[in-house]
Amino acid sequence: MSSEPATYERLTELSATSPTLVEGLPGHGLVAAIAVDQITRQLGLEHHGNVVSDDFPPVVTFADGRVRDLVRVYAGANPDVLTLQSDLSLPPSSYEPLARCLVGEFGDEFERAVFLTGVPAESESRIGDVAGVATTDEAAADLDAAGVERATDPGLITGVTGAIVEACYHADVPAIVLLVRAHPFLPDPGAARRVIEDALEPLVDFDVETDELREQADEIQRQLRQLAEQYRQLAGDEPATRQSTPTSMYQ
């Protein structure tokens, strides 16, 4: 149990009138973190505030030569969007305080929330597949209007995302969870690109350039092929001069 609540420190006035909060906390495949970092940078969102809690790890992070808080919110008015980011995975003790802070102290500043959750893909062909879950009829209608398939099988949403979604659900805050199939072992910028293009852009009505994520995904695949070839050469399975494809991660 946490002994201290999380609090929100506002740094700027919010100019957006009815923004959507897009969560980008680290999780499976770093899909949420990669996608939301791309959105924040591409849209030029400004640092709006910080969530602080004694339950967060006792560390500081820095960028561009300046120390910054671990959990941050960025904001913009064209389009109306807020993003939630953290530089590290958060400990379980912080989930409930963070959820209470976002829905209680900060909840009046956003109209709805969109959460991203990476799910291990069963096959390479499933990477990037997206399904949605909604907390309200309004959020479900938004999924349908955006052409995002709703998840039909029962399941669980755990971790920090599950805690915040639960808080939204009980507070009647419209929220959407996008379940994104991602590589079972590696950071997956390709899955992040797909969720931006196939779900977030139609849901939030913005346009984000994703070529950088495509290049990152291609580079990861190149490195995997190189590692697979080196392994085969060391194992003596094939001549060093023969070109081959990488061992499947899904067998």
In a domain, 243, yes or no: no
For residue 35, being part of any structural domain is answered with: yes
Share of the chain residues as helix, strand and coil, in percent rounded to the nearest 5 = 40, 25, 40
3-state secondary structure of 77: strand
Q: Label the pairing between strands 175-182 and 112-120.
A: parallel
* Structural domain contains residue 132: yes
CATH number assigned to the domain comprising residue 138: 3.40.50.10900
- Read off the pTM: 0.85
In the chain, the largest separation of any two C-alpha atoms, in whole Å, equals 64
Domain residues for 33? 7-209
Amino acid found at 101: C
Residue 214 falls inside a structural domain: no
> What is the predicted pLDDT for the residue at 237?
55
Residue 226, φ and ψ in degrees, nearest 5: -65, -45
Residue 193 inside a domain? The answer is yes
Does the residue 116 lie in any domain?
yes
Q: What is the DSSP code (8-state) at residue 69?
A: -
Instruction: Tally the domains of the chain.
Output: 1
pLDDT the model gives residue 145? 96
In a domain, 11, yes or no: yes
Q: Is 106 exposed, middle or buried (0-12, 13-18, 19+ CB in 10 A)?
A: buried
List CB contacts of 64: < 8 A, sequence separation 6 or more: none
The confidence score (pLDDT) of residue 242 equals 46
Q: What are phi and psi of 2, to 5 degrees?
A: -80, 140
Residue at 158 is within a domain: yes
Local confidence pLDDT in tens for the 251 residues of the chain: 445 689 999 999 988 788 999 999 999 989 999 999 999 999 999 999 999 999 999 988 898 899 999 999 999 988 899 999 999 999 999 999 999 999 998 888 899 999 999 999 999 899 999 999 999 999 999 999 999 999 999 999 999 999 999 999 999 999 999 999 999 888 899 999 999 999 999 999 899 998 888 888 778 777 767 766 776 777 765 554 444 444 434 43
Two tokens at 70? 């671990």
Please, which residues bridge with residue 76 across strands? 81
